[in-house]
Amino acid sequence: MMQVFGISIQALLGQLLIGLINGSFYAVLSLGLAIIFGLLNIINFAHGAQYMLGAFVAWMGLTYLGVNYWVGLILAPLVVGLFGIIMERLMLRRLYHLDHLYGLLLTFGLALVLEGLFRQLYGVSGLSYPIPDVFQGGVNLGFMFLPYYRAWVIVASLSVCFCTWFVIERTKLGAYLRAATENPELLQAFGINVPLMITLTFGYGVALAGFAGVLAAPIYQVTPVMGSNLIIVVFAVVVIGGMGSILGSIITGISLGLLEGLTKVFYPEASGVVVFVIMALVLLIRPAGLFGRLK
Partner 1 sequence: MAKKRLLSAFGTGLALVMAVSGASAAGLSDGVLKVGVMTDMSGAYADLSGPGSALAAQMAIEDYGGIVLGKKIEFTSADHQNKADIAANKAREWFDADKVDVIADLSTSSTALAVMEIANQKNKVTLISTGGSTKITNSNCIATNVHWTYDTYALAVGTGKAVVANGGDTWFFITADYAFGHSLEGDTADVVTASGGKVLGKVRVPFPNADFSSFLLQAQASGAKIIGLANAGSDTINAIKQAKEFGITENQTLAGLLIFITDINSLGLETAQGMMLTTGFYWDRDEESRAWSKRFQARHKSMPTMSQAGVYSSLMHYFKAVDKAGTDEAHAVMAAMKSLPINDMFAKNGYIRDDGRMIHDMYLVQVKKPSESKGPWDYYKVLRTIPGDEAYITPEKSTCKLLKK
Which residues bind to partner 1, rule: CB under 8 A?
Answer: 8, 11, 14-15, 18-19, 21-22, 43, 45, 99-101, 104, 108, 112, 116, 119, 123-128, 130-131, 137-138, 144-145, 147, 149-150, 219-221, 223, 225-226, 228-232, 235, 239, 243, 261, 264-265, 268-269, 271-273, 283, 287-288, 294-295
Select 77 or 292, whichever has its Cβ closest to partner 1: 292
Q: Is 8 helix (H, G, I), strand (E, B) or coil?
A: strand
Find all residues with CB under 8 Å of 159, minimum gap 6, and list them: none
Select 175 or 280, whichever has its Cβ closest to partner 1: 280
Select 200 or 288, whichever has its Cβ closest to partner 1: 288
- Which of 75, 96, 71, 107 shows the shortest CA–CA distance to 235? 107
Select 217 or 250, whichever has its Cβ closest to partner 1: 217
* In contact, 219 and 154? CB cutoff 8 Å: no
**Shortest gap between Cβ of 247 and partner 1 (angstroms)?**
20
**Shortest gap between Cβ of 43 and partner 1 (angstroms)?**
6
Select 79 or 147, whichever has its Cβ closest to partner 1: 147
- Which of 236, 290, 286 shows the shortest CA–CA distance to 260? 236
Select 117 or 189, whichever has its Cβ closest to partner 1: 117
CA angle 72, 104, 55 (to 5 degrees): 15
Mark 141-175 as b/e (b = at least 16 C-beta within 10 Å).
eebbebbebbbbbbebbbebbeebbeebeeeeebe
Select 81 or 227, whichever has its Cβ closest to partner 1: 227
Select 45 or 83, whichever has its Cβ closest to partner 1: 45
* In contact, 31 and 201? CB cutoff 8 Å: no
**Shortest gap between Cβ of 167 and partner 1 (angstroms)?**
26
**Shortest gap between Cβ of 142 and partner 1 (angstroms)?**
13
Cα distance between residue 91 and residue 275, in whole Å: 32
CA dihedral 252, 253, 258, 262 (to 10 degrees): 90
**Shortest gap between Cβ of 277 and partner 1 (angstroms)?**
13
Length of the chain: 295
**Shortest gap between Cβ of 248 and partner 1 (angstroms)?**
15
Widest pairwise Cα distance in the chain = 66
Cα distance between residue 23 and residue 26, in whole Å: 5
**Shortest gap between Cβ of 159 and partner 1 (angstroms)?**
21
**Shortest gap between Cβ of 215 and partner 1 (angstroms)?**
13
